Amino acid sequence: MLAAGCTSPPPPRPPVETPPPGSIVAFTENSSSPLVAFDVRRATVRGVDGAVRSPVASIAGLSGDGLVGVAVTGRGSASVFRVTRTGDAAPIGKALPGPRDAAYHSLAVAGGRAMVADCDAVAVLDLAGPSRWRTVGDGCWAALSPDGSRVAFSPDGRRVFEREIRTGHARPMFDVSGLDLGTGRETRLFGPPSWGPDGIAFTVVSGDQAAFYLARPNGALERLLQERLLKTVRPPVLAWQPNGGLLGAMDDLGSGGVVRTFDPATGAHRVVALDPLAFDGLVWSPDGSSLATLTSGGFLLVVGTDGSWRARVDTTWSSMLGWLT
């Protein structure tokens, strides 16, 4: 205990480690080339050809030899497109017209499907046969299972249902209103859940408290972290590590922005980046070794899961889409 607050510095090591390979695809504020691919290791940028407009919300997932993205425009329409390794972007299927502008919709790409929830309906698009959007539920917050076969959605922000997309069969999964954050106030979902192999991670808020939970496949709800809720400008971003067991979380619910990793196996969590204001977006590198986010100063920050900086680059990006191998 005497030495608990004293730390002897270990031997020196390189301040910045080599970033993982691949390119981060991002939307820029440059109208002539709104989509760019940034080679992280070479630190080079190239434009991505294709008629993709800067979105108010976007998400992407790896699919085949490219990246499939979903972008929600300012008018609420959701379009799906594929970005190839050669630097081209091509639309997939028709855009889904939205009823209104909704920046906080749930978007997901997984298992050959794209999903969008705009608080009116939860719709999915089969990437293999992108002929039409299919409505599979309702509510603002929804998630696709890793294999794309199921969708979890919450029609009222409290109860969460699971629906088999192929059969349409639905069943209740859990109800967050019963989660006690010690405020005596109602507990509600805040932000899109993230469905991974270890379960569905989600954020709830109650009074001046916010908490990250994990719904295990067996139905158990485990609290990962609870913190004071100071602002609800935007919901946290939760993202599962590719081929790994870590959950990445970016939130600015407290006094600033923080990126954490959670290890559901041990319950341990670790801060890997802090920003005095907030971060924007969170994407994993395909090898799962690093996380990329945008700082409040507009810098792309790539950090390892141990918090070491892999890259920090000044950008004019408005949002990140994903990390292309």
Partner 1 sequence: MAHVSGLRAAPFGWLRRLLVLSRYPAVGLAVFASATILGISAAAAPLFESSVATNVVQLGMRDAGRVLASMTTRVQLADDVVGYQQRTLVDAVRAVPNVGRVTTTLSATGLRVQPADGGRAKSVQLVSRGGFLSHVHVLAGESDANGVWLAESLAGAIDAGPGDAVLIRAGARSATATVAGVYRDLFVGVPDAFWAPLSAKIYPTAEGEAPPPSPILAGRATMLTLSTTLELFGTARWDVRVTSDRSALAYDAASHAAAGVRRLVAEVASPATPVGSALQAPGTAAPVVDVVRDARATRDSIAGPLRTFSIAGVVAALVGLLASAVYGVRRRRTEVRMLDALGLSPAALGARALLETALPVAAGGAVGWLIARIGVAVGGPTALLDPSAVAGSVWQAALAAVAGIAVTAFGTVSAVRAETQPAGTRFRAVARAPWEAVALALAAAALYEILSRGTGPAVSPDGAVHIDAFLLLFPVLFIAGAAGLAVRSLVSGLRRASGAAVRWPVPAYLATRRLASSPRIALLLTTAAALSVGILGYAGTIGRSLDIATNDKARLVVGSDVSVPAPASLRLPPSPGLHPTDVVRVTASPASAPGEITILGVDPATFASAAFWDPGFADRPLGELLRDLGRGGTSLPALVVGSSASVGEIDLGGFAIPVTPLERVRAFPGQGTGSTLVVATPVLERILASHGISLDSVGVTFLVWVRGPVARATAYVEGLGLSSSAVRTAAAFVGAPRFRAVSSTFVFMELLGVLAAVVALLGVVLYLQARHHARLVSYAMSSRMGLTRGGHRVAVFLEIGSVLFASAVVGSVLALVAGAVLSPWVDPFPALPPSPAFRPPIPLFAAIAVAVPVTGAVAAVIVQRRTDRANVAEELRYAG
Residues near partner 1 (CB under 8 A) are 1-13, 15, 182-183, 227-228, 254-256, 258, 260, 269-276, 295, 297, 299, 301, 307-309, 312
Parallel, antiparallel, or unpaired: how do β-strands 57-63 and 66-72 relate?
A: antiparallel
Report the alpha-carbon distance of residue 120 to residue 58 in Å, rounded.
18
Least Å distance, CB 259 to partner 1, is 10
Q: Which C-beta is closer to partner 1: that of 183 or that of 243? A: 183
Q: Which C-beta is closer to partner 1: that of 144 or that of 272? A: 272
Parallel, antiparallel, or unpaired: how do β-strands 113-117 and 106-110 relate?
A: antiparallel
Is the CA virtual torsion 259, 146, 106, 161 positive or negative? negative
Q: Which C-beta is closer to partner 1: that of 33 or that of 255? A: 255
Strands of the 317-324 sheet, one edge to the other: 44-47, 35-39, 23-28, 317-324
Least Å distance, CB 234 to partner 1, is 19
Q: Which C-beta is closer to partner 1: that of 92 or that of 272? A: 272
Q: Which C-beta is closer to partner 1: that of 12 or that of 217? A: 12
Least Å distance, CB 34 to partner 1, is 27
Structure tokens at 28: 């820029």
Least Å distance, CB 181 to partner 1, is 11
DSSP-assigned letters across all residues of 232-289: -SS--EEEEPTTSS-EEEEE-SSSSEEEEEEETTTTEEEEEEEESS--EEEEE-TTSS
18 neighbors 290 (Cβ within 8 angstroms): no
Best CA proximity match to 291, nearest among 247, 256, 226: 247
Least Å distance, CB 185 to partner 1, is 11
Supply φ then ψ for residue 102, to 5 degrees.
-150, 100
Q: Which C-beta is closer to partner 1: that of 169 or that of 228? A: 228
Least Å distance, CB 88 to partner 1, is 34
Least Å distance, CB 230 to partner 1, is 10
Q: Which C-beta is closer to partner 1: that of 125 or that of 253? A: 253
Q: Give bridge partners of residue 115 from the DSSP assignment.
A: 108, 124
98 neighbors 117 (Cβ within 8 angstroms): no
